Amino acid sequence: MTPERAKSAIGGVVSQVLILVAAVITLIPFIWMVSTALKPSSEVFSNPPSLVGSSIEWQNFADAWNYLPFGRFMLNGLIVAGIGTVIVVATSAMAAYAFSRLRWKGRDGTFLLYLGTLMIPQEVLIVPMFILMRELGWVNSYQALIVPWAFTAFGTFLLRQFFLTLPDELEEAARLDGANRWTSFTRIILPLSKPALGTLAVFTFIGYWNSFLWPLLIVSDVNMATVPLGLNMFLGQTGNQWNLLMAASTISVLPSAIIVILLQKYLVNGIALSGMGGR
């Protein structure tokens, strides 16, 4: 083996080891969460700590589900995250197409201005957004949970970067066949952009699903609470029953995990091809 190949092989082994270590470190909190969810309440803070309790308490999941209307929280979260994701992907795709494939005066300056909104922290917008929702009569509604964050510069930027990689010749050939802009967008650009669309869908769904501050302010009705609010109320009502809280947390992680698993191919390709892979 030549020195160059030996060095490359060693580098590959080191990279794999580092990736494995990072994966284990990332998974430790989730493993401990599931472990705690399956322990008896008296063994949660046992000394020395133990990964497995004296018995496997599957009943903790049923108790956590029934103690509060957790099914309602999950349904609210799915409605908000699902509809929000559809709106964000649709609006971001159309805006990205306008900023990447159309030629119009002031396009680049407008895009930079739009991109600059990413520098504004969400907390700065909370008060005026709440006042607007109150004036519209949307407090304690799905509209208030979905609409304010359904138009994102990040999604537009992500899809624009991907659209710029698509050859202009594809649309030119379509226009020669009589296709208009909308036809080119829906039948050429979007089908070729599934990796980027999948990536944006995953990020958006997780963002809506894990949102806590805005739902905490805009929702006061238990029946409109999402999963993070439900977990917060669960902690307040169950006191030191951490095994039930961890069981509820384990249940709440499942939808996001399923989305990531189903779209992992698009997630990896989208990050690599849209300029978000560190290149």
Report the distance separating Cα 84 and Cα 69, nearest Å: 23
> Is pLDDT above 90 for 32?
no
Model-level pTM? 0.83
Q: Alpha-carbon distance 279 to 263, whole Å?
A: 22
Mean pLDDT of 93-104: 89
Which DSSP string corresponds to 232-246? Answer: HHHHHHHTT-HHHHH
279 pLDDT more than 70: no
Q: 200 and 270 in contact (C-beta within 8 Å)?
A: yes
pLDDT in the model for residue 277: 43
> Does residue 273 have a pLDDT over 70?
no
Q: Is the pLDDT of residue 181 over 70?
A: yes
The structural domains of the chain, ordered by start, are 69-273 (1.10.3720.10)
> What is the spatial distance between Cα 259 and Cα 203, in angstroms, rounded to a whole number?
10
State whether residue 225 is helix, strand or coil.
coil
pLDDT of residue 87 exceeding 90, the answer is: yes
Each residue of 126-164: pLDDT tens digit? 899 999 999 999 999 999 999 998 888 899 998 998 888
